[in-house]
């Protein structure tokens, strides 16, 4: 449960960074509070846990052909899809095209990479007796 909360926090901070940096530049969002970002982090995490593995498996030849750059397109699609799903629940953001979604997915990837490195010990900690 502790690892799940850390991952949810990492997703929330990453989504916050993407929306903060791109708000008004292709992404439109009216955040209310940290609950908004936690909900978006949960949605983003669920989309990445459920839909992303299926897309990676189906597009494996494309990923191999593009030497891994196809995963950038999948990440872009996941970011865009998270916003659409969030809008249906009243906590989403609007992406106005491919490039804002692409930049948002790059920001989320970079922030997640850094925060996963920071919390590496906590995420890999064995359960205490």
> Residue 72 is part of which domain span?
2-23+33-121
Q: How confident is the model at residue 126 (pLDDT cuts 50, 70, 90)?
A: low
> In whole angstroms, how large is the CA radius of gyration of the chain?
15
Residue at 43 is within a domain: yes
- Which secondary structure element, helix H or strand E, spans residue 103, and what is its range? helix 98-118
* pLDDT score recorded for residue 64: 93
Q: What is the pTM of this model?
A: 0.86
Pair 43, 88: CB distance under 8 Å: no
- For 39-55, how does the pLDDT look when each residue is reduced to its tens digit (9 = 90+)? 999 999 999 999 999 99
Residue at 28 is within a domain: no
Instruction: Give the span between the Cα atoms of 105 and 73, in whole angstroms.
Output: 9
Residue at 127 is within a domain: no
Residue at 72 is within a domain: yes
What is the average per-residue pLDDT within 76-95?
89
Closest to 27 (Cα-Cα) out of 102, 113, 112: 102
Residue at 129 is within a domain: no
Residue at 70 is within a domain: yes
- Which secondary structure element, helix H or strand E, spans residue 8, and what is its range? helix 2-22
Residue at 82 is within a domain: yes
Residue at 97 is within a domain: yes
Mean per-residue pLDDT over the chain, rounded: 88
- Split into its structural domains, the chain has a count of 1
What is the percent of the chain with per-residue pLDDT over 90, rounded to a whole number? 59
Question: Which segments of 59-129 are extended strands (E)?
Answer: 94-95
């Amino acid at each position: 449960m502790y690892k799940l909360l850390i991952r949810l926090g990492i997703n929330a901070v990453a989504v916050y960074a993407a929306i903060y940096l791109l708000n008004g530049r292709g992404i439109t969002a009216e955040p209310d509070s940290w609950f908004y970002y936690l909900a978006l982090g949960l949605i983003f995490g669920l989309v990445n846990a459920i839909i992303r593995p299926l897309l990676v498996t189906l597009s494996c030849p494309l990923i191999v052909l593009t030497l891994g750059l196809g995963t950038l397109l999948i990440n872009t699609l996941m970011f865009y899809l998270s916003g659409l799903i969030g809008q249906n629940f009243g906590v989403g953001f609007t992406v106005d095209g491919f490039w804002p979604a692409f930049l948002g997915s790059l920001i989320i990837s970079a922030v997640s990479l850094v925060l996963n490195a920071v919390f590496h010990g906590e995420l890999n900690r064995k359960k205490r007796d």
